[in-house]
């Protein structure tokens, strides 16, 4: 892997308040590839994704050579309120606000991007349904469509397959592969071995440090045994 083809995280320390969660972490993510971040509960996966998405600010070091533009970020599904009175189409349209601004009307091009993203995730038939009335798997696809509507160069997903049945997991994995084919750099945290094995690159975190990095079969083989 040569330097021009990677996103570089260099000697990065980050956490919450005075508590450092990630300490001196250096890693590389293949550009236009899928990276899986694995590790036990509390090892710092979500914190790393937060840094990549720009919601957690490192106290030292940081990301070099991130893809241009605002990252698309899909948080863990249980972090999204069930009570939001909003339709599926309007949820996906929120992805356009980042580039359009809150107070400007969305253009015909914006709405066609929204409709295209819903189609890519197979949720077009749900467009007028309330987000709160969807199953967990449907909601996850809608949130992914919202992130794609931002047309990001970097797509960051926190456990996109958790709680989904095997078909839904395969669908999400196929969508991530398709985005990679469109040149998007994809990073996701997962506890799902098949999802991690399907990635191009794998980062294993342990207690806020990088315990291993490389092809998933090399990183995960000792874990699986
Ligand atoms: N908003 C926050 N404020 C304070 N501490 C936090 C916050 N979010 C996470 N932490 C702490 O940071 C540490 C790492 O949490 P993080 O969510 O990054 O781990 P994780 O590997 O994603 O875990 P999981 O697999 O359970 O999702 C934990 O000790 C957690 O309690």
- Tell me the C-alpha distance between 211 and 3, whole Å: 21
Which of residues 151, 179, 210 is at a domain's end? 151
Domain edge (last residue) among 151, 169, 194: 151
Residues 46 and 67 reside in one and the same domain = yes
pLDDT of residue 81: 66
> How much is the pLDDT for 45?
97
DSSP string, 70-137: PPEEE--GGGS-S----BHHHHHHHHHHHHH-TTSPPPHHHHHHHHHHHHHTT-GGGTTSBGGGS-HH
CA 97/CA 61 separation, integer angstroms: 30
Dist. CA 26–CA 58, nearest whole Å:
12
Q: Each residue of 17-32: pLDDT tens digit?
A: 989 999 999 999 999 9
For residue 44, the ligand 1 atom closest to its alpha carbon is: 18
Query: By residue range, what is the domain housing residue 100?
Result: 81-151
**Per the domain annotation, does 4 fall within a domain?**
yes
132 CA distance to ligand 1 middle (Å): 26
Ligand 1 contact via 45 beta carbon (within 6 Å):
yes
Distance 78 CA to ligand 1 centre (A): 14
Residue 21 beta carbon below 6 angstroms from any ligand 1 atom: yes
Checking ipTM against 0.85, whether it exceeds it is: yes
Q: Whole-prediction pTM value?
A: 0.91
Per-residue burial over 92-131, b = 16 or more CB atoms within 10 Å of its CB, e = otherwise? bbebbbbeeeeeeeeeeebeebbbebbebbebeebbeeeb
Question: With a 6 A CB cut-off, is 43 part of the ligand 1 pocket?
Answer: yes
Question: Is 41 near ligand 1, meaning CB less than 6 Å away?
Answer: yes
Q: What is the pLDDT of residues 140-158, one digit of tens each?
A: 999 999 999 999 999 999 9
User: Are residue 187 and residue 137 in the same domain, yes or no?
Assistant: no
């Amino acid at each position: 892997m040569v330097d021009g083809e990677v996103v570089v995280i260099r000697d990065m320390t980050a956490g919450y308040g005075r508590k450092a969660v990630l300490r001196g972490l250096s890693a590389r993510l293949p550009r236009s590839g899928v990276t899986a971040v694995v590790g036990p509960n509390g090892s710092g996966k979500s914190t790393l994704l937060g840094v990549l998405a720009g919601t957690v600010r490192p106290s030292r070091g940081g990301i070099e050579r991130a893809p241009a533009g605002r990252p698309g970020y899909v948080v863990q599904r249980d972090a999204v309120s069930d009570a939001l009175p909003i339709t599926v189409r309007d949820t996906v349209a929120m992805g356009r606000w980042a580039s359009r601004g809150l107070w400007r009307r969305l253009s015909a091009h914006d709405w066609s991007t929204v409709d295209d993203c819903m189609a890519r995730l197979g949720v077009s038939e749900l467009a007028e349904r309330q987000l709160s009335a969807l199953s967990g798997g449907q909601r996850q696809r809608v949130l992914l469509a919202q992130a794609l509507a931002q047309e990001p160069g970097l797509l960051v997903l926190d456990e996109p397959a958790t709680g989904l049945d095997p078909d839904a997991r395969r669908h999400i994995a196929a969508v991530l592969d398709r985005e990679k084919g469109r040149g998007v750099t994809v990073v996701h945290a997962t506890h799902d071995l098949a999802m991690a094995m399907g990635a191009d690159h794998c980062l294993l975190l342990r207690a806020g440090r990088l315990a291993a990095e490389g092809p998933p079969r090399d990183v995960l083989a000792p874990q699986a045994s």
